[in-house]
Amino acid sequence: EVIREGELEKRSDSLFQLWKKKLVVLTKDSLSLFPDGHKRAKGKELGFGSILKVDCVERTGKYIYFTIVTKDRKEIDFRCPDQSCWNASITMALIDFQNKR
């Protein structure tokens, strides 16, 4: 059951920390990231069971920046256009997941 689908930018773990566009699919249990905007490619799934919180939300003129913190303390940085409110959608789905546990 897809709650939301669209584009989000993720900061790479590489030395240059470039922002890369990902196709993102949010469900009631997870956030899946697909490279190059194609669901055909192998996606990376972040299950809500492994996510601690959505943190560090900052708004600039054009973007909202936020960090997903996993239970093993890994931080994954994202940004989205100011009006898209992806951070709120992910936070609400995470809270729903945690409340059902």
CATH number for the domain harbouring residue 94: 2.30.29.30
Instruction: Give pTM, 2 decimals.
Output: 0.89
How confident is the model at residue 38, as a pLDDT? 67
Q: What total number of domains does the chain contain?
A: 1
Q: Can you give the residue range of the structural domain that contains 82?
A: 2-100
* Contact between residue 32 and residue 48 where contact means Cβ atoms under 8 Å apart: no
| Four-point Cα dihedral 7, 36, 66, 15, nearest 10 | -160
How confident is the model at residue 98, as a pLDDT? 94
Q: Three-state SS for 48? A: helix
How confident is the model at residue 47, as a pLDDT? 96
Per-residue pLDDT of the chain (101 residues; tens, 9 = 90+): 899 999 999 998 888 889 999 999 999 999 999 986 667 778 899 999 999 999 978 999 899 999 999 999 999 999 999 888 999 999 999 999 999 98
